[in-house]
Amino acid sequence: MTRIQRRNRSAILEAALDVFSQNGFRGATLDQIAQSSGLSKPNLLYYFASKEAIHIELLSGLMEIWLAPLHAVDPGGVPQAELMGYMRRKLEMSRQMPRESRLFANEVLQGAPRFLDGIRGDLKTLVDAKAKVIRHWSASGKIADIDPYHLIFSIWALTQHYADFEVQVRSVLGPDRDPFQEAEGFLEELFSRLLKPVDDAAH
Residues at the interface with its own copies (CB under 8 A):
22-27, 102, 105-106, 108-112, 116, 119-120, 123-124, 127-128, 146-147, 149-151, 153-154, 156-158, 160-162, 164-165, 167-169, 171-174, 182-183, 186, 189-190, 193-194, 196, 202
Contacts of 74 (CB under 8 A, 6+ apart): 82
The entry of DNA, its own copies, none near residue 2 (CB within 5 to 8 angstroms by kind) is DNA
SS3 content of the chain, % helix, strand, coil (to 5): 80, 0, 20
The entry of DNA, its own copies, none near residue 201 (CB within 5 to 8 angstroms by kind) is none
174 by DSSP, 3-state: which? coil
Residues at the interface with DNA (CB under 7 A):
1-2, 4-5, 8, 28-31, 39-43, 45-47, 49-52
Smallest distance, its own copies to C-beta of residue 162, A: 8
Smallest distance, DNA to C-beta of residue 105, A: 20
Residue 21 CB neighbour total at 10 angstroms:
23
3 by DSSP, 3-state: which? helix
